[in-house]
C-alpha cells in the first residue's frame, strides 16, 4: 500500500513515548490512519494538530498493516487552538469526521464541507460567521452516511411552504399548519436551512439542536459517542459568548 495525498488531520493519539497514530481525511481516499515515528517530537507536534492540512505519504506492506506515515505541513491552523471558541469548533468538527467516517471510504463532499467550515472558522471575526456553516456540515455528514433529513416538503400535507418543524422520528419536515397542537413534540426547523439567508443566534441554536438529535441517534452511538462531550463544550461556549 502506497498513498500520497493532501489531507486534513482529524485525530492524533500518542503511541509509545515518541510516536503518534494520526487519522487524516483525504478527498479521494477517505480517512487514512498512519503511524508517525517521532510524532510527539517538538518538530512534529505543531504539524500534527487537528485541522491542519498536511501532505501525507502512507506506506504499508499489506492492507491489514497500520501504514507508516510521513507528514509535511501544507497549512497550519495552530493559532486557532489558542482561542477557546475557535478551538472548540476545530475539536468538534474534526472529531466528528474521525469517529463517524469509515476508513478508506471516499467522501469528497464531506472533505470539502469540513475544509470549508475550517476555513470559515479561520476567516471569520466572530462565531456567527461560521456557526451556521457548522450546522450545514453536520447535516451533510448525516446525509452522506445515509441518515439525511427530508426538508423539501411537509411529511403530513405535502406542502413545500412554511416548513417550520422536523419530526424527531422520521427526520422529515412538517409545515406550521400541520404541526398545530404538536409543536412541543417536534424539533424547530430554522429557516436558513431551507430558504438560505442570514442566520440569527436563535436559528443557529435551533439548527444545532436539530442536528444533535439525529447525530446522537443515528451516528454517534455506543463507543462513538465520546466526541459529543466536545460538542457540548462548544455549544456551551457559544451560548455564554452571545448571552
Domain boundaries, the chain: 2-76, 80-151+189-242
Number of DSSP helices (H) and strands (E) in the chain, helices first: 5, 8
Question: What does the pLDDT read at residue 153?
Answer: 96
Closest CA to 163 of 192, 200, 131: 192
Question: What does the pLDDT read at residue 198?
Answer: 85
- What's the farthest any 2 CA atoms get from each other in the chain? 62
- The Cα–Cα gap between 26 and 124 comes to 24
Question: What does the pLDDT read at residue 226?
Answer: 87
Q: In what order do the strands lie in the sheet with 163-166?
A: 173-175, 163-166, 187-188
Select 2-76's CATH number: 3.90.850.10, 3.40.50.300, 2.40.50.140, 3.40.50.720. 2.40.50.140
Question: What does the pLDDT read at residue 207?
Answer: 98
Question: What does the pLDDT read at residue 243?
Answer: 80
Per-residue pLDDT of the chain (243 residues; tens, 9 = 90+): 899 999 999 999 998 888 999 999 999 999 999 999 999 999 999 999 999 999 999 999 987 889 999 999 999 999 999 999 999 999 999 999 999 999 999 999 999 999 999 999 999 878 988 999 999 999 999 999 999 999 999 999 999 999 999 999 999 999 999 999 999 999 999 999 998 888 999 999 999 999 999 999 999 988 778 899 999 999 999 999 988
Q: How far does Cα 222 stand from its chain's mean position?
A: 18
Domains 2-76 and 80-151+189-242 fall in the same CATH topology: no
Residue with cell 461560521: 130
Fold of 80-151+189-242: de novo design (two linked rop proteins) (1.20.1440)
Question: What does the pLDDT read at residue 195?
Answer: 87
Amino acid at each position: 500500500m502506497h498513498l500520497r495525498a493532501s489531507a486534513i488531520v482529524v485525530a492524533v493519539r500518542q503511541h509509545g513515548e515518541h510516536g503518534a497514530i494520526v487519522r487524516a481525511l483525504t478527498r479521494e481516499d477517505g480517512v487514512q490512519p498512519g503511524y508517525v515515528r517521532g510524532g510527539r517530537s517538538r518538530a512534529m507536534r505543531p504539524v500534527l494538530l487537528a485541522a491542519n492540512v498536511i501532505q501525507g505519504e502512507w506506506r504499508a506492506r499489506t492492507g491489514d498493516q497500520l501504514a507508516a506515515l510521513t507528514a509535511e505541513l501544507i497549512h497550519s491552523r495552530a493559532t486557532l487552538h489558542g482561542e477557546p471558541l475557535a478551538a472548540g469548533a476545530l475539536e468538534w468538527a474534526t472529531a466528528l469526521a474521525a469517529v463517524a467516517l469509515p476508513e478508506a471510504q471516499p467522501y469528497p463532499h464531506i472533505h470539502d464541507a469540513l475544509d470549508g467550515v475550517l476555513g470559515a472558522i479561520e476567516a471569520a471575526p466572530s462565531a456567527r460567521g461560521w456557526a451556521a456553516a457548522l450546522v450545514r456540515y453536520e447535516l451533510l455528514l448525516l446525509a452522506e452516511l445515509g441518515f439525511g433529513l427530508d426538508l423539501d416538503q411537509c411529511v403530513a400535507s405535502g406542502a413545500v411552504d412554511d416548513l417550520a418543524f422536523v419530526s424527531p422520528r422520521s427526520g422529515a419536515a412538517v409545515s406550521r399548519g400541520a404541526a398545530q397542537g404538536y409543536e412541543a413534540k417536534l424539533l424547530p426547523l430554522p429557516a436558513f436551512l431551507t430558504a438560505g439567508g442570514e442566520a440569527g443566534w436563535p436559528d443557529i441554536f435551533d439548527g444545532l439542536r436539530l442536528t444533535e438529535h439525529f447525530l446522537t441517534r443515528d451516528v454517534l452511538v455506543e463507543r462513538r459517542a465520546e466526541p459529543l462531550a466536545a460538542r457540548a463544550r462548544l455549544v456551551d461556549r457559544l451560548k455564554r459568548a452571545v448571552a
